[in-house]
Amino acid sequence: MLSYGSPGISRGVRDILIATIAVYVFQIFRVSGDFLVAYGALTPSRVLGGGQVWRLVTYLFLHDPRGPWHLAFNMLALWMFGVEVEQMWGTRRFVVFYIASGACSGLVSFLMWDATIIGASGAVLALLTVYAIYFPHRQVLMFFIFPVPVRVAVGIIGFISLVGSMGSGGGIAHVTHLGGIVVALVYVKGAPIVQRWLWRRRKLQTERAARAGAEQRLREERDFEERVDPILKKISEQGMASLTADELEILKRASSRGRRQ
């Protein structure tokens, strides 16, 4: 039994779908289509050498206008797996992750692939990986034919992407796909580790501050006692009338501290 996806559509998924399809319509009807690709596609030299960092985001909304399949597969997967992830995370976190994972997978592609990239596949595969982490036993149709657990599907796609990244790629940004999977694994699996480290670090800092405070209070107590002892000795030898105003104040403070303890 297949059990992926959710009925209806969530706000974040809907907005991403609308934006991506709208850009695609501009592309296929050549309404600023060439301009969009020229200034929106992910080109390593433009980002690293030209500082055009916006391309790390804009390339996600561009797809091959020569055929609808690239767009169709990405948007179908976005709907199938994105709705439940958004319901768990909330719209803000979901959208930020979608864009950030796409940008990071694009950066990963720079390591091995010096070519212009368009498409949301990196971000979509990141979402699919997140879905597989939360729902590993859900069934999906691999290649729309074979029902397999979604975690197995991610493993197969990851293997194909790894092998593909070692070759010419055939026009497919396998490294970007692999980057999306890795980004999701690091984000979901690595976040608890980072959180535990931060918690331990904060706890250690709190304990150090508490120890430092206790040591400071102990030093102050010792210093105060060193000031009180000579006064008590003076009283025993010369009487209360011999005390100065400052010594009386110190004695008063010592008496007050004794009552609090």
Q: What is the CATH number of the domain that holds 146?
A: 1.20.1540.10
Q: Tell whether 182 and 216 lie within a shared domain.
A: no
The verdict on 24 and 67 lying in the same domain is yes
Q: How confident is the model at residue 198 (pLDDT cuts 50, 70, 90)?
A: low
Please compute, for residue 12, the number of CA atoms within 13 A of its CA located in the half-sphere on the CB side: 21
Q: How confident is the model at residue 13 (pLDDT cuts 50, 70, 90)?
A: very high
Is the predicted pLDDT of residue 150 greater than 80, yes or no? yes
Cβ-defined contacts of 95-101 (< 8 Å, 24+)? 95/12, 95/15, 95/16, 97/126, 97/127, 97/130, 97/187, 98/12, 98/16, 98/60, 98/123, 98/126, 98/127, 99/57, 99/60, 99/123, 100/183, 101/126, 101/127, 101/180, 101/183, 101/184, 101/187
84 pLDDT band, cuts 50/70/90, is: very high
Asked if the model's pLDDT at residue 170 lies above 60, the reply is no
Q: Is residue 203 in some structural domain?
A: no
| Range 110-135 average pLDDT | 87
Residue 155: its pLDDT value, please? 87
Domain final position from 197, 218, 241: 197
Confidence at residue 128, expressed as pLDDT on a 0 to 100 scale: 94
Percent of the chain whose pLDDT exceeds 90: 26
HSE on the CB side for 211, CA within 13 Å? 6
Q: Label residue 216 by pLDDT band (50, 70, 90).
A: confident
Q: Which of 34-43, 78-87, 210-219 has the highest mean pLDDT?
A: 78-87
Q: Between 117 and 215, whose confidence is greater?
A: 117
Q: Indicate the range of 132-136, 153-157, 169-173, 174-178 predicted with least confidence.
A: 169-173
- Statement: residue 199 has pLDDT above 70: no
Close Cβ partners of 80 (under 8 Å, ≥ 6 residues apart): 4, 5, 140
Mean pLDDT of 52-70: 89
Residue 31 pLDDT > 80, yes or no?
no
Q: Give pLDDT, residue 258.
A: 53
| Judgement on whether residues 67 and 177 belong to the same structural domain of the protein | yes
What is the pLDDT at residue 47?
A: 83
Q: Considering only residues 233 and 67, tell me which one the structure prediction assigns the higher pLDDT.
A: 67
The average pLDDT across 160-171 equals 68
- Predicted local confidence at residue 259, as pLDDT: 47
pLDDT for the residue 114: 72
- Express as a percent the part of the chain with pLDDT over 70: 76
Do 134 and 78 sit in the same domain of this protein? yes
Q: How far apart are CA 183 and CA 129, in angstroms?
A: 9
Cβ-based burial of 17 (10 A; exposed 0-12, middle 13-18, buried ≥19) = middle
Work out the pLDDT band at 160, boundaries 50, 70, 90: confident
* pLDDT number for residue 20: 95
Number of domains in the chain: 2
Question: Distance of CA 130 to CAs 5, 85, 157, Å?
Answer: 13, 8, 14
What is the overall mean pLDDT for the chain? 80
pLDDT of residue 89: 93
Domain extent at residue 32: 11-197
- Residue finishing a domain among 153, 172, 197: 197
39 and 148, same domain (yes or no): yes
Which of 168, 169, 186, 187 lies closest to 177, judged by CA? 169
Do 153 and 229 lie in one domain? The reply is no
Q: Are 225 and 231 in contact (CB under 8 A)?
A: no
pTM over 0.75? The answer is no
